[in-house]
Structure 1
């Protein structure tokens, strides 16, 4: 915990500094949500064939989903998602004429959540 999944459209593959984003997001989660750096795990999923509206525009999509153990206040969750969106804007440099659609959400991990790490 936190379990972070970042979906991004293929149009942004060359414009998205994914490592830089994750390395900036992890300290945000430590400072705002009380996570530890070593517990932050981010994976990036490149999506193909995304479409916005009627498909007439040139659009890129980034969606950040952060899974946290329950107990954070709505205000804390909002601070994290707002910070994540700020970071998306910093670490995605879309091409001229491409509209960036960014979103972020936090979900509470289910009580069944378990993890394992083998060194």
Structure 2
């Protein structure tokens, strides 16, 4: 914990500073949600096919970056909202200007009580 997943349109790949974003995201998660630095882990998942509204997907005029953060239960709505606001701002600062629109979003959710992890 926290379990962080970043889903993004592949057209943003060259403009997205993923390493810098992950570091800043982990720092924000520690500061805002009281996570332990060594517990922060982030997976980046590019998507080759993004459809936006009624746009022809081949036009590739829009990109999506969506961040999901799973935390152990116990954080209040105010903490979750503060974290998602920080995450959206971090996306803005870690994606360079592009010829296409970039739509950033974030969600913080409680991990299910059945959550377990193992390290080897």
Shared fold (TM-score, shorter chain, > 0.5): yes
- Secondary structure of 2:6's aligned partner: strand
**Mapping for residues 21-36 of structure 1, pairs under 5 Å:** 21-36=21-36
Structure 1 unpaired stretches of 5+: none
Q: Which runs of 4+ in 1 moved over 3 A?
A: none
Q: Deviations over 1:65-99 (max 9, x none)?
A: 00000110100000000000000000011422x10
Matched, 1:92 2:95: yes
Matched residue count = 117
CA distance in 1, matches of 2:97, 2:71: 29
Structure 2 unpaired stretches of 5+: none
- TM-score, normalized by length of structure 1? 0.95
**1:103 Cα offset (Å):** 0.5
Matched, 1:55 2:55: yes
- What's the RMSD between the two structures over aligned residues? 1.0
